[in-house]
């Protein structure tokens, strides 16, 4: 089936990611499915990120830079416009992806033509790239309206692979600085245009460090509350909207309390997911090492 799978555009927006960008690109080159183009989209970096991106010598890699800092939502909309493939996969510049990720997601999308997007599970990494846990929803997971309003859809934003047409007709709100994904899911669901498949296996390696901080969490929860009021519309019941709004408000209170007592590690540990057994951890470590040992064709010494 591999030879029948279509080309996919993989988009990586980046901003000051010189320490991690090439590892992210290595995980693209490590894919079992090699029929891809890679769009590296600079968001006004001030470090060596753009230089590193431009050093890659491969006709499948395209680098774009306009010198502006437009933030993530605008760059994700731009990737959909620039893509030459009918399918788009995205990832963040400080993460890694499993060598089987693109192949597995394309297989699901082709086998289930009624869906537009495929999400995967996550392997959480420390800053030293040590796997510390996995999380994901079952392949049979069904998204509920209330879960969407709570920002708990089960969709792993950075792991998505989907149809380009979907991203063109469902654009990110560029006036939102955080929680653009949760907002988009609510707006798409409201017009009956959120059909998602799931792969429970952890095909996306996510660096958790620096993401569980009080300011980020409070801002994200605040955006969830604004989305409920502003964008949910009549497709969501008043009961679901009221419940989700109140519970999200309580989450902000909990974050503030935990932050005062220096206990945000509780949330970080919870996000890391299920404990890894020694065999599973060893397998993930081997895969990460394989990715990082990939030789990129670059102009660098």
Tens place of pLDDT per residue across the chain (301 aa)? 445 899 999 999 999 999 999 999 999 999 999 999 999 999 999 999 999 999 999 999 999 999 999 999 999 999 999 999 999 999 999 999 999 999 999 999 999 999 999 999 999 998 889 999 999 999 999 999 999 999 899 999 999 999 999 999 999 999 998 889 999 999 999 999 999 999 999 999 998 766 668 888 999 999 999 999 999 999 999 999 999 999 999 999 999 998 887 877 777 666 666 678 889 999 999 999 999 999 999 987 5
pLDDT of residue 1: 41
Predicted TM-score (pTM) of the model is 0.93
CA torsion through residues 172, 175, 179, 184, sign: negative
Q: Decide: 205 and 239 in contact? Cβ < 8 Å.
A: no
Q: Decide: 119 and 202 in contact? Cβ < 8 Å.
A: no
Q: What DSSP element (H or E) covers 229?
A: helix 214-231
Q: In the 8-state DSSP scheme, what is residue 201?
A: E
| Distance of alpha carbon 174 from alpha carbon 72, whole angstroms | 8
pLDDT of residue 259: 87
CA torsion through residues 171, 177, 181, 183, sign: negative
pLDDT of residue 262: 82
Domain 2-214+270-292 coded CATH 1.10.8.100: no
Residues 6+ apart with CB under 8 A from 133: 123, 124, 272, 273, 274, 275, 276
pLDDT of residue 169: 97
pLDDT of residue 283: 94
Q: Which one, of 78, 81, 89, 80, lies nearest residue 33 by Cα?
A: 89
């Amino acid at each position: 089936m591999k030879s029948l799978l279509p080309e996919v555009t993989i988009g990586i927006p980046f901003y000051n990611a010189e320490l991690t960008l090439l590892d992210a690109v290595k995980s693209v080159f490590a894919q079992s499915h090699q029929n891809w183009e890679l769009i590296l989209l600079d968001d006004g970096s001030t470090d060596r990120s753009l230089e590193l991106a431009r050093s890659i010598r491969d006709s499948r890699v395209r680098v774009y830079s306009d010198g502006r800092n437009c933030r993530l939502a605008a760059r994700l909309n731009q990737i959909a416009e620039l893509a030459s493939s009918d399918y788009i996969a995205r990832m963040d510049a400080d993460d890694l992806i499993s060598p089987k990720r693109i192949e597995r997601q394309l297989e699901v999308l082709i086998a289930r033509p009624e869906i537009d997007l495929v999400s995967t599970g996550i392997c959480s990494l420390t800053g030293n790239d040590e796997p510390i846990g996995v999380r994901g929803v079952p392949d049979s997971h069904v998204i509920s309206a209330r879960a969407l309003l709570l920002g708990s859809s089960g969709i792993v934003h950075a792991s998505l692979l989907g149809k380009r047409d979907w991203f063109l007709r469902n654009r990110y709100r560029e006036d939102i600085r955080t929680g653009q994904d949760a907002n988009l899911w609510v707006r798409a669901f409201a017009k009956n245009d959120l059909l998602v498949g799931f792969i429970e296996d952890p095909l996306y390696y996510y660096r958790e460090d620096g993401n569980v901080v009080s300011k980020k969490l409070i801002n994200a929860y605040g955006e969830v509350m604004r989305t409920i009021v502003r964008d949910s519309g009549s497709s969501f019941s008043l009961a679901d909207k009221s419940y989700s709004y109140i519970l999200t408000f309580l989450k902000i209170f909990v974050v503030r309390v935990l932050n005062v007592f220096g206990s945000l590690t509780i949330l970080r540990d919870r996000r890391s997911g299920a404990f890894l057994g020694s065999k599973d951890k060893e397998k993930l470590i081997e895969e990460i090492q394989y990715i990082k040992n990939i030789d990129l064709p670059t102009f660098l010494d």
